[in-house]
């Protein structure tokens, strides 16, 4: 089982700088070498849970209902608040 830090790092590497679908981000993060032995539903649920935490902590921006992976979007918070 990966650590929270490993999961968060995989997610942050997969979150685009411009808004992109949550489903794509979860799929990309799940492909991180060594993160999961096999990609099971529970693995995606863990990724989605951690992504919600990253949004709640202000490290990632979100649009839409994050439980609707194909309909919601996320992006990285711009460093320094600039464009």
- CATH code for position 25: 1.10.10
Rounded mean pLDDT of 10-28? 98
Q: Is residue 61 part of a domain?
A: yes
In Å, what is the CA distance from 65 to each residue of 1, 4, 21, 55? 27, 23, 11, 12
Report how many domains make up the chain: 1
Query: For the whole model, what pTM was predicted?
Result: 0.91
Q: Is residue 35 part of a domain?
A: yes
Contact present, 69 and 22 (Cβ < 8 Å): yes
Is the pLDDT assigned to residue 82 strictly greater than 60?
no
Q: Is residue 59 part of a domain?
A: yes
Q: Is residue 69 part of a domain?
A: yes
Q: Which domain holds residue 9?
A: 4-78
In Å, what is the CA distance from 32 to each residue of 9, 12, 58, 68? 10, 11, 23, 22
Q: Is residue 83 part of a domain?
A: no
Percent of the chain with pLDDT over 70: 95
Which has more confidence, 1 or 80?
1
Is the pLDDT assigned to residue 62 strictly greater than 90?
yes
Rounded CA gap, 55 and 60, in Å?
A: 5
Q: What is the pLDDT of residue 60?
A: 98
């Amino acid at each position: 089982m990966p650590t929270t830090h490993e999961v968060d790092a995989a997610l942050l590497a997969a979150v685009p700088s411009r808004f992109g679908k949550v489903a794509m981000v979860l799929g990309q993060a799940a492909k991180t070498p060594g993160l999961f032995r096999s990609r099971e539903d529970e693995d995606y649920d863990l990724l989605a849970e951690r992504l919600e935490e990253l949004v709640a902590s202000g490290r990632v921006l979100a649009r839409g209902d994050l439980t609707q992976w194909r309909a919601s979007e996320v992006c990285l918070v711009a460093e320094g608040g600039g464009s």
